[in-house]
Structure 1
């Protein structure tokens, strides 16, 4: 067992590298067909079909990969999302350039059970929706090429058929009780790989450095793939520094190719250290030569050391680093889990631009693309397996957890970003099995902890919210939701200090609350008067429900952006004065789909993100920027608040979020003076002004200064002084036209035509015609059934060059229509 005092680190991930005389890899993205149902058998996907043959299924649709079976229905307000089988088919032109080489299918992830066929021959299976796996199809391809149908029916192509299945299964992790959608489909990239007869499966590169950062050491091991039992070869290992200069190279004859082979131990004097501000990466390249063919695998690594000080802060390379973190789900509007590389890059870059230096990947191992970005951008990572809620199953269940932990560690071993291997989440949450035995859960948690350190003793283990296991893992996060599920946000520090005292190595994962994008409030904290204080900040069974139980903000609050920025602001202010705090991770960066929240303002969405599901930033994104970034920025609260309200002559608060030293505010051309930023002055670090608005239109501008740098921001809105009554009718109108896309807006008004700015009823959009609603996106402006935000809601419509009739209805009011 390693000592926690100082932890040395750096690691790797399986990736095929395309180079001359090396294995060659290509993504299989196009020419796929898909059907969302089960077949009688694989032959239904490959049997000969003639024109007009009534036996051919008519429901195959053309798709591209990555593809998620639940891209839309995960947030469809009117159905339960599909959990069951789906079939994919394509045809491959297989031409392996290597004599005696192998043909592999490398899956970067597929959910949740996968069966793979070449024609009708099953060549492999995998259980687990989030780890990578590789299936060798060489023998099946060669056998199929010798059949008559290869040339006659398939004209020299090889039919590939894949069945995925995300059906509910109690003996599989994650539990369907989890607060996220258990997606199905080929939702990560699939690669066709050609390798020589002897190829590199994985390399394991472990860089360490002494406390002074002067002497580095790199241990390089390799695991080879040698199905023909060649049992000999030559290895070349090259080490290149962050500037591209090769600093070491060795050659080694191999008399055995089995097991994990130690290739070399390098010494590196005064290595350039990897850090969150300066994520410098070295390159390790391993070449295995057998005969005339070579196999090459390249990994990027980082020298650094970290420490979770006992009863103290987090240290990176000998200096304290406050971990400013968030969480990530693989989930996006319109595609579900099937995020493209470009989407993943956009998301991780948005996190970095918000000032994040730490990400917890919840609640499963994620795409290699995300991990590579964390390495290159300087984001530390807690990655975990999906043992999430439900209890503990039997032998099949436990074997999957062991296998996924092993896969996660081996596949992501070389990433310098990873510091914590998460063993589970909310394992104190029963529900899947008649027995809930805490002692058995403790025994299995200890087994996973030991397995993690056996596989990788350079990192620590962690879990969140399972108090009866907190003594087993290296780093523990209790449940603290002050101001949302329990208590008020001003209790955050006292609750956190109490929990910190109960464990040696504390981290605060998950805090925050939901906000309905576009909903704002003039008095967001009024709801706190009803909340009982002094009862802790942990969430408990039923707290996510919008009905019944004790008074709590999550149930009784207004879910406004105005409230949540105050909650975030207070937490971030307090964290600046906790010298012992390792750090925290706000839950969650982006809104995501979940089957257990059908009654939320956007049904089936967890709305705790600081950006919407389509990357649209909420107001809270800029609160974090103001605390966590150094590049000068300024943001006036209220860019999505078109109408403010109050009495004529009443002073209203304008909040400005900025990391600059001072800011000056102008309202309707009049200066309200400059203010100095003070982190401990709440709200908005002292950058708040009380202003009397004009009745009607108003313009607000701010100029912030940081030394010689000046940045500015502005907003425009209407100030409503008339009092509105009970909603009497809806008004539906087109507010924007961009090409073939129109945006329509509904407003609820009283009998005098005044907009009911506190109206939060559900409305349902519909349409008749050849166009389509752009809905099932899981956003406040991309859902046909959605709660109003300040008495209004919008949706976009694709006209398809046709005349369409749009409708909107709400309970108790007359349905209204508009022609487009």
Structure 2
């Protein structure tokens, strides 16, 4: 059965009020069971148990959706993450209110290959972990209801079983060489949908502007799902503004309706439309109503009017004005959930991105949740979204057909989002390894065909790729690999390299830059290197020690330089949030790409505030080092103190003494001129900053110790309870030398363990949620859920005696 896509108003909730007349969608979050292994066959999922045969093996666990196979093992430091089949099952009370109606299961995404069963009947399958798809279960449900087991065994409910499989497969996108987990499971929402016999498949609302942005036009087209071949229908579409005022209402009549054939419903001209912009993301609503003798269907899409331009060898323009694209990236990945992000988590993450001041995001490296696109529309964030052709080269016919299908689905399913300006065709397609043959010309040919397909499906947007130099002439916009100061040279080389690369293509964008940082790790050396820039002879790249000092300086330098590049379209640093990856087991937090400005649980690193100080319009101030409890050096040695703020000026106080006011100047590196050299006193130090923005005064405060005693080699591990509340205990491990001094430059790997009633809160992929990790400045922290019992926590490091603590 061919896949069918249903686009709902918000996130799969009820579309319109009257159940007897309207398409209805119900989220299926509760009542699921899960098995992380394969079955011998579908019968094992539905066979009865009774007093004569009470065994029910294998054992299933209760779960709620969304759910991911790899919620914990993605960041397990000791084992590879699970790649294989898994099963879900539930029982549904199904009662379609429409005469001759269709009952559908709508999947917002499931990884990576999926089969759907009603009782023992296979009703549909899908390949691809990121696009939406629908299975029509009507006939199988009707047939099952006529069987004796419907009432006898299942008590009037319909058994639904779903097999997901993320097994390794060379002929499947994305490549398993990719620097991210290829997750398995029902990790996006699943919906039960009731429709009349004829329903709306997709609505395409194409908006355009003319007459110097003073005139707007909406061209409304639609496809329909019509398995019963309903011959005719009538309807209307309404256009309403953001206040709900109807500005157009047109009728249409349809005959000879064929499934998936695009029908034109009409056009509407709008005089002086409100433009969609970053500060005013104005959205119009297009409501299409379809009426037949079988029932009524309503579907609503949000659209916006905006004009954009990538100037030849020049900047980017939105609605006729130059705009520097200030962007980041995201993966669907979160601590304790992996890909199974809920709407509330996605809303929080996108709001944090907006609050940081970003106006652009690249959704790497696959089609992402409808919730994310809706949020980009409503928050005012421009989007680059791409198909999952990532690394590995080019596979055969099955592989290539999957790429065409996923590109088509992405464009058609997200066609109406005004936030999207770029369709990504691939990422790092010059990466060899998946196939014996690596043929650049064949990759070029396939890239060209995908480029043509994207323009055919959507002529209004541009195409792009990142890092495949032998294909850089194919898409409309190209992003090379630079990574100044991390994988390449020094960060002070950035502007020179970017200018050189920009001259090689007509439309240049800089995606992916930055570097890794281990949250909680700080370095005195990284800041020493910047005190006298640009005259310093220190080779900055040697100081990329994964400290938060180094990465904030790298970001700071790039941001100040970008303000002096009038030809630059924009950039997107990699990445907003740390995420799990199978190719980095040696990282300080194993199996985590730590290039985020927030950790995998959305805890902010210091670097978040660097971007906020350059990009955000809302006044803010942040003293660098909130999570840096101990600084070190010689007595009387001056130390660099940085303040990140977008205020006009700031005054620093250390131990109640003013070190004077500084004026903000983005070109005065570091920290845009808000930096001081101060004398710390040995022991405790109080730092306060007062920043002024017009008449508004903002303050920030931190406490730091200053250690002048030198330490030796770490020889001892000590465990100490540092917090405890409501059944949760937080423990700190410390590496000490022979004189019991904290070894502030130690980077040893430590491993926590637990015995007893409690549970170690690990496998979160964060600096405080991993049982094995590198220490930060001689210490490491983890928490335990005590379960109101007794436990013993231990910590060990190679060559050092283990330590234990009773909890």
Return the TM-score normalized by structure 2: 0.96
Q: Match for 1:766 among 750, 753, 760?
A: 753
Aligned partner of residue 652 in structure 1, secondary structure: strand
**How many Å separate the matches in 1 of 2:210 and 2:719?**
67
Aligned partner of residue 430 in structure 1, secondary structure: coil
Contact 1:211 1:318 in 2 (8 A): no
- The runs of at least 4 consecutive aligned structure 1 residues that moved more than 6 Å come to 526-529
2:655 aligns with 668
Q: Match for 1:566 among 521, 545, 553?
A: 553
1:101 aligns with 101
2:33 aligns with 33
1:224 aligns with 224
**How many Å separate the matches in 2 of 1:596 and 1:661?**
44
Gaps of 5+ in 2: 1-5, 532-538
**Cα deviation code 1:399-445 (max 9, x no counterpart):** 00000000000000000000000000000001000000000000000
When structure 1 is superposed on structure 2, of 202-211 and 309-318 the one drifting more is: 202-211
Q: CA deviation at 1:292?
A: 5.5
2:535 aligns with none
**How many Å separate the matches in 1 of 2:212 and 2:713?**
69
1:777 aligns with 2:779: no
Instruction: Give the 5 Å matches for 1:560-599.
Output: 560-599=547-586
Q: CA deviation at 1:557?
A: 3.0
Q: CA deviation at 1:753?
A: 0.9
Contact 1:695 1:720 in 2 (8 A): yes
Gaps of 5+ in 1: 1-11, 530-550
1:412 aligns with 414
1:242 aligns with 242
**How many Å separate the matches in 1 of 2:540 and 2:93?**
60
1:199 aligns with 2:199: yes
Contact 2:578 2:593 in 1 (8 A): yes
**How many Å separate the matches in 2 of 1:340 and 1:402?**
29
1:254 aligns with 2:251: no
Aligned partner of residue 337 in structure 2, secondary structure: coil
Contact 2:518 2:547 in 1 (8 A): yes
Q: CA deviation at 1:804?
A: 0.5
1:76 aligns with 2:63: no
**Cα deviation code 1:666-686 (max 9, x no counterpart):** 111111111100000000000
**Cα deviation code 1:756-793 (max 9, x no counterpart):** 00001000000110101000000000000010000000
Q: Match for 2:15 among 11, 18, 32?
A: 18
Q: CA deviation at 1:244?
A: 1.5
**How many Å separate the matches in 2 of 1:300 and 1:57?**
48
Q: How many residue pairs get matched?
A: 787
Contact 1:68 1:186 in 2 (8 A): yes
Aligned partner of residue 144 in structure 1, secondary structure: helix
Contact 1:484 1:552 in 2 (8 A): no
1:633 aligns with 620
Aligned partner of residue 581 in structure 1, secondary structure: coil
Instruction: Give the 5 Å matches for 1:300-699.
Output: 300-524=302-526, 553=541, 557-699=544-686
**How many Å separate the matches in 2 of 1:651 and 1:54?**
75
**How many Å separate the matches in 1 of 2:642 and 2:255?**
70
**How many Å separate the matches in 2 of 1:31 and 1:252?**
42
1:743 aligns with 2:745: no
**How many Å separate the matches in 1 of 2:555 and 2:225?**
50
Aligned partner of residue 131 in structure 1, secondary structure: coil
**How many Å separate the matches in 2 of 1:440 and 1:235?**
47
Contact 1:484 1:512 in 2 (8 A): yes
- Give the superposed CA RMSD: 1.4
Q: CA deviation at 1:552?
A: 9.8
1:718 aligns with 2:720: no
**How many Å separate the matches in 2 of 1:125 and 1:254?**
31
1:287 aligns with 289
**Cα 1:177/1:691, change in 2 over 3 Å:** same
**How many Å separate the matches in 1 of 2:345 and 2:8?**
22
Aligned partner of residue 422 in structure 1, secondary structure: strand
Q: CA deviation at 1:381?
A: 0.3
Return the TM-score normalized by structure 1: 0.95
**How many Å separate the matches in 2 of 1:119 and 1:244?**
45
**How many Å separate the matches in 1 of 2:7 and 2:384?**
15
Contact 2:24 2:193 in 1 (8 A): yes
Q: CA deviation at 1:528?
A: 10
When structure 1 is superposed on structure 2, of 242-251 and 363-372 the one drifting more is: 242-251
**How many Å separate the matches in 1 of 2:513 and 2:340?**
27
Q: CA deviation at 1:252?
A: 1.4
